[in-house]
Chain A
C-alpha cells in the first residue's frame, strides 16, 4: 500500500475493522512516521470505548434512529431551557402588567389649596396686656395756679424778642394732602376713646373724649352690640370681630365666627388691638347700649384701628360670584367655581397704596388703581368660560407702580411669583384670605398669587 493509503486505515483501527495485513502495515508505518504514531495514539480512547460491546450497541441504536427532525430537536431545546424560558415569561408578564397599569393611570393633578383655619381664641388666649389706665377728668382736682408775680428786682433788660406773627399772616404750609380718611360713621367719632393716632380726626376725638365720656359704657357691651347688629343683616360697616371698619354685605356677616375672623386678621391689623378685643368679647355683656352709636368704647377702638398704622402691610381679598338674583356673593372657597360663573375679586388693603392685578396670559391688567386704607376695591366682572386653573397675579405697594402692559406683563408676573415665595403669611378666614408681608417695611409690597379652580 502507498503511504497515503495507509493513513486511510486509521478509521479502522478503533473499530477493529482492519485485517491482520492492514494492521501490520499501519503499525509498521506508525513506527516510522511520528504523525501517524500520534494519530494512532489519539485513536486509543475511541478504541477503548468501542471494545465494550454495550457501547457498540448503544452507538448502533443511535445510528438506527437517524437524525432527529427539527420539531423533535426544538422540543428537546425547549425542555433544556425550560427554566430560563419560564423566568423570561414571568418577567415579561409582570413587566407588561406594571407598564399597563402605569400607562392607564391618570396623572394626579397638583392643586394647591389653602385650608381654612379656625382657631378658638377662647381656649388659647393671647397673653393679656394690662389696658392702659384711663384718664378721667376730675374738675375738682384742677386748681388754678396764681399768676406769677411781677419781678420786683430790676435786672438786666431782656433781650429783644421779635414779635410772633399772627396766624393770619403766615403762609399756608405746602404739605402733601393727607390720604382720604376711612369711611366711618359720625356716630363712631362721637363716642371714640382711642389714643395715639396721627389722623386729625383721631386727635380731635382723643382730645374730646375725656370731656365728653369720662365714664363710658364698658367696651364688651359695645363689642357685643356691634356684632349683633352685623348679624342682624344691616347693610353697613359690619365689623366682624371688631378689628376694623370693613364694609361688607349683610349676607357675609351672617353666621360668621368672630373668633375665626379675628384669627385671620390678627396679622393684618394691630395685634394689641386684637388682644384687647378678645378680652372685651370674653367679658360679660353689661348695659347693652351697643350698636354703632351707643357703646362708645367699641366704636372708639374701631376708630382707633382706622387711625393707627397697621403692624404689617397686607391685603384681604375675597372672590365674589354672581348669584341667581344678580347680586354678587362672597365665596368661602375659591375652588368652588364652575364654568359659566361670573366673578369679581374684592381687595381691601390695610394701608393706602397702589394695587395692580393681572391675569395669567393677559397683556393688560385687570385692575390698576390707587386704593385707600381699608377701602374695598373690586375688579371688573370676570367670565369663567372654561374649566381648569386660572392664576391671577396681584401686587400691592405703598409706592406707585408703572402701568402693566404687553411689554412688562411677563416681568410683572415673574416678580409677583418670586415675591410670593418670600416672607408672606396667608390665612384664610370666612371673610376671605388675608395676605400679609411680615418683612420690616415691606419694601417689595405684598405680591401674591390667587388661584381659581374651575370645575
Chain B
C-alpha cells in the first residue's frame, strides 16, 4: 500500500471519527488539516506503522485544542476551521495536568485489578511482547494471552469509567 492510498483511507477514517466528536463541516476540516500536516511536515513518513499513530496523535491534539477553546469562549457550537490552531506537539501545562490526572486514575484502577491482570500489565509495562508474556505467565497459546489481555483491558477501562479521558468523548 503506497502513501497516497494510505492517506486516502486515513482521510476517510478520520472524517468519520471526527464526525462523532464534532458537528457539521468541522469533521471534514479536521481531517483536511491533519492530512495537510502529514503531507507538509511529515512528508518523509511513508509506512502505515508511522503514519497511523501520527495521525491519531494529530487528531487528538486538534480535538483537545478545540474543546479547550470552546470552553474558554463558552462556545459549544461549530467552530471555524480558521480558528483551530495547528497542534503544538510539545507538552504544555494543560497537557501536563491531564497526563498527571490520567496517571493517578490509572494507578488507582490497576490497584483494583486481579492478580493475573496486574501481572499482565506489569509485564507489558516492562516492555515484554505477547510472546514473552506467554512464556512468563506459562500460557499454553499466544491467543490465550491475547484473550487475557483483552479482558484485562476491558476491566481496566470499566474501572476508568469507560474511557481513558473521562468527559472528553
- Give min CB distance, B61 to chain A, whole Å: 9
Q: Check A59–B125 contact: CB distance below 8 A.
A: yes
Binds B, one of A49-57, A176-184, A208-216, A348-356: A49-57
Binds B, one of A28-36, A407-415, A432-440: A28-36
The answer, yes or no, to whether B78 is at the interface (CB within 8 Å) is no
Q: Mark B10-31, 1 if CB is under 8 A from A, else 0.
A: 1001001100100000000000
Q: Mark A1-42, 1 if CB is under 8 A from B, else 0.
A: 000010111111001111110111001101110100110111
The answer, yes or no, to whether A270 is at the interface (CB within 8 Å) is no
Binds B, one of A61-69, A93-101, A259-267: A61-69
Given contacts A42-B164, A49-B99, A63-B118, contact A58 B147 (CB under 8 A): no
Q: Which of B49, B121, B164 contacts A45 (CB 8 A)?
A: B164
Q: Which of A7, A15, A24 contacts B124 (CB 8 A)?
A: A15
Q: In the complex, A397→B139 CA distance in Å?
A: 115
- Give min CB distance, B39 to chain A, whole Å: 17
- In B72-109, the 8 Å CB interface with A consists of 98-99, 102-103, 106-108
Q: Which of B10, B133, B150, B165 contacts A17 (CB 8 A)?
A: B133
The answer, yes or no, to whether B128 is at the interface (CB within 8 Å) is yes
Q: In the complex, A48→B165 CA distance in Å?
A: 12
Q: Check B17–A38 contact: CB distance below 8 A.
A: yes
Q: Check A8–B147 contact: CB distance below 8 A.
A: yes
Q: How many B residues are at the interface, by size bracket? A: 35 or more
Q: Check A5–B153 contact: CB distance below 8 A.
A: no
- The secondary structure that dominates the B interface is helix
Q: In the complex, A56→B106 CA distance in Å?
A: 11
- Give min CB distance, A339 to chain B, whole Å: 77
Q: In the complex, A55→B10 CA distance in Å?
A: 30
Least CB separation from A24: chain B residue: B49
Residues of B within 8 A of A52 (CB): 99
Residues of B within 8 A of A65 (CB): 111
The answer, yes or no, to whether B53 is at the interface (CB within 8 Å) is yes
Residues of A within 8 A of B57 (CB): 44, 48
Given contacts A5-B146, A46-B164, contact A11 B152 (CB under 8 A): yes
Least CB separation from B13: chain A residue: A37
Q: Check B103–A59 contact: CB distance below 8 A.
A: yes
Q: Mark B34-56, 1 if CB is under 8 A from A, else 0.
A: 00000000000000110011001
Q: In the complex, A64→B153 CA distance in Å?
A: 18
Q: Which of A5, A15, A66 has the most B CB atoms < 10 Å from its CB?
A: A15
Q: Check B146–A8 contact: CB distance below 8 A.
A: yes
With A59-B121, A66-B111 already in contact, 12 other A-B pairs whose C-beta atoms are closer than 8 Å: A10-B153, A12-B124, A15-B121, A18-B130, A27-B48, A30-B52, A31-B10, A41-B60, A46-B102, A56-B125, A59-B107, A63-B111
Residues of B whose CB lies within 8 Å of any CB of A are 1, 6, 9-10, 13, 16-17, 20, 48-49, 52-53, 56-57, 59-60, 98-99, 102-103, 106-108, 110-112, 118, 121-122, 124-131, 133, 143, 146-147, 149-150, 152-153, 163-165
